[in-house]
Amino acid sequence: MDRMNIAGGGVVALDVAGRRSAGLRFEVGGRRRMVLRQGAAVVMLGSVGRDHYGVDIYRTGVYRSPVAPITAVEARRRGAWLHWFASALDDSDAGPLHDGSWLLAASGLPFDAVGSDLVRDFPSAYLDWFGAGWRDVVPLRPLPGDGDGRVKAYRKLVLDGILPPVLLWEVSALDGWVLLDGHARLAAALLEGVRPAMLVLSRRADPDQREGAMQVATQQTEAIVRSQPAAAFNPLVRALADAHDQFDQMSGRTRAWPLAGGEQAWRSLAGAASPEWLAETDAE
């Protein structure tokens, strides 16, 4: 994997080769059915509503992080985490990386995304797309409670201001993020009422998409410059430069693979995971 710092070092671009498929991958069976697999194991099932106003999800509880556990000793020793997580994902066969260009970025997600708006229902939940969209976080397994030994250790790191970041994966099919690593760290931060540091992994938009978006922004800025007095020129040029950085970090769509057997195979998987949940989605 090749990597390059962009946006002043707050984002790492990852170019992945030699991975035709991903260890953690979405598969689709029919127009409304999705499966998240980790290897052969089913981690999550999804059923998009017929009205396309949202998606019902069911998590099986078998998910395992693609990143090795971070001990309190290592957390106290290490200060920079961006490249550490990039290397950990590259070394793992259980994560979402596959051939193509990716971004790993220090995130500015609002606290609500991992706080009050976090999906706390488990194993099933409904992600409501109606209105402005969903844009929150789905844990792939339950958050541990305050009596968990890891949570107790991480709460001390929260108080010391050295809690390692949680790792999220931006998933366009959900219009939000899933929690890849850091369930116990997130639980510790929430118990202390602190917004944890977050890193977000996403597929990078392809060069044509980024170039097209940049051309539109350039044309709009040039039109504004022509209509404004000379004093407005420098601020607009700076705004265009900022926009260029943003387009360089555009996220692309999450890739999914066809589910062998289509919808019938999906129904078999859903029925094996939870007949009750399958019946509920059929009734909607």
| 179-195: pLDDT as tens digits | 999 999 999 999 999 99
- Token output for 49: 């509503």
Q: What is the pLDDT of residue 246?
A: 62
> For residues 24 and 32, what is the distance between their CA atoms, to the nearest angstrom?
20
The set of residues, in sequence order, having a beta carbon less than 8 Å from that of 110 and lying 6+ positions away, is: none
Compute the distance between CA of residue 77 and CA of residue 28 in angstroms, rounded to an integer. Answer: 42
Same domain, 213 and 198: no
Q: How confident is the model at residue 30, as a pLDDT? A: 84
d(CA 100, CA 136): 25
Instruction: Please check whether residues 199 and 82 belong to one and the same domain.
Output: yes
How many domains does one find in the chain? 2
Which residues in the chain show pLDDT less than 70?
7-8, 207-248
What pLDDT score does 227 carry? 63
Pair 30, 85 in one domain: yes
Residues 196 and 267 reside in one and the same domain: yes
Q: State which residues form the domain around 62.
A: 2-204+254-283
Q: So what's the pLDDT on residue 69? A: 92
User: Are 122 and 218 within one domain?
Assistant: no
Same domain, 235 and 149: no
Do 137 and 53 belong to one domain? Answer: yes
For residues 102 and 231, membership in a common domain is answered with no
What pLDDT score was predicted for residue 243? Answer: 54
Q: Are residues 226 and 180 in the same domain?
A: no
**Do both 119 and 59 map to the same domain?**
yes
Same domain, 46 and 143: yes
Task: Say whether both 102 and 236 belong to one domain.
Answer: no
In this prediction the pTM is 0.86
The per-residue pLDDT for range 188-217, each reduced to its tens digit, is 999 999 999 999 999 998 765 555 555 555
